[in-house]
Amino acid sequence: MPDSPGAASPATIVDAHAHLLNPAELGYQWIDQRSPALTFLLSNYYDIAREFSPADYQNALAGTGITRVVACEFGAVDPLAEARWIQHCHDTTGIPGAFIAAADLTSPRLAELLKQYQDLPVVRAVRQPLYWSENPLTRLGGRPDYVTDRNWLRGFERVANSGLVWDLLLYAEQLPLAAPLLRAFPEVPIVLEAAGWPLDRSPSGFGRWQDNLLAVSAHPNVSLKLQGLALIFGPNRESVTLWLTTAVNIFGPDRCMFASHLPVDGLLWTCQDLLNTTLHALAGLDSAGRHSYLAGTAERIYLAE
């Protein structure tokens, strides 16, 4: 049974996805070469092309009660240098608690990179942007066929053997292509990012997204991270609630994660706006379900000692 509305204040919140930036020391290709896809995504996207440090992140929280954060790579030219900087941030500030590093699974240096990541305790997961669309303005990945490419799959085997979590970045329309991958690696912890990002948000697109999420949810090793809610669905409580509650109903709160997607979504609303909207959407859950969504799942997947 759901708790009463007055019982909705969470004791612990883990942010499962935020970005830290250090342009003074790290190169970012997307900053050096402005991307039409990013400005199509959000017209003022490049307002975030500046330093975003652990202190900046803390300031953006504005008393929300978020206690721990998982940082995510943000397209640094040298992913190992980015991971080492994040390790330094963790060692000196405690932020972040874990890091999702970048890994090109087709790189001939992948095995060496994964070994170097294992020497950095903060690195708990890796990812590679695979978002592909026929429209170049929504194309954020390098190729349409990565998840079925033999060389890429050999790289995925290396990730599987490393013990790291894999963050999966596919649009909803691409999810059927991932079915063989999910069947082949049932023991690898996989996190589908951005609520399985649907490009088509029409009523028929909603139905197809629902069906694709249902198919993915049949694999118990897959969890769902719901970052970018304002970016994808708009900073609107009614719209976000529809997609969020549907996703949670499909996966269950013990396989879903709260995420701020700072600093990107900070261009659209505040962390408090996000938290208020999330608590509204989760009102039908009991306290255990809310805890799983807001903290427990991320603690289990990314932050377990």
Is 4 domain-assigned?
Answer: no
Taking only the tens place, the pLDDT of each residue in 9-48 is 567 899 999 999 999 999 999 999 999 999 999 999 999 9
Is 67 domain-assigned?
Answer: yes
Say how far residue 118 (Cα) sits from the centre of its chain: 21
For the sheet with 222-226, list strands across it.
Answer: 13-18, 66-72, 98-102, 123-129, 165-169, 190-192, 222-226, 256-258
Is 2 domain-assigned?
Answer: no
Q: What band does 6 get if pLDDT is binned at 50, 70 and 90?
A: very low
Is 3 domain-assigned?
Answer: no
- 2 pLDDT more than 80: no
8 A C-beta contact, residue 190 and residue 168: yes
Burial class (CB in 10 A: 0-12, 13-18, 19+), 215: middle
Is 250 domain-assigned?
Answer: yes
Is 1 domain-assigned?
Answer: no
* Residue position matching structure tokens 């017209």: 43
> Which of 156, 249, 240, 137 has the alpha carbon at shortest distance from 194?
240
- Give the Cα separation of 271 and 268 in Å (integer): 10
Torsion angle of the four alpha carbons 104, 77, 143, 240, in this order, in degrees rounded to the nearest 10: 100
Q: What band does 5 get if pLDDT is binned at 50, 70 and 90?
A: very low
For the residues 151-173, what does the mean pLDDT come to? 97
Phi-psi region of 188 (alpha: psi -120 to 50; beta: other; left: phi over 0): beta
For the residues 199-204, what does the mean pLDDT come to? 96
Taking only the tens place, the pLDDT of each residue in 231-284 is 999 999 999 999 999 999 999 999 999 999 999 999 999 999 999 999 999 999
- Give the Cα separation of 10 and 20 in Å (integer): 25
8 A C-beta contact, residue 3 and residue 287: yes
Please tell me the total count of domains within the chain. 1
pLDDT on residue 99:
98
Q: Residue 125's domain spans which residues? A: 10-302
CATH number of the domain residue 217 falls in: 3.20.20.140
pLDDT on residue 9:
56
Taking only the tens place, the pLDDT of each residue in 282-300 is 999 999 999 999 999 999 9
Is 232 domain-assigned?
Answer: yes
Is 5 domain-assigned?
Answer: no
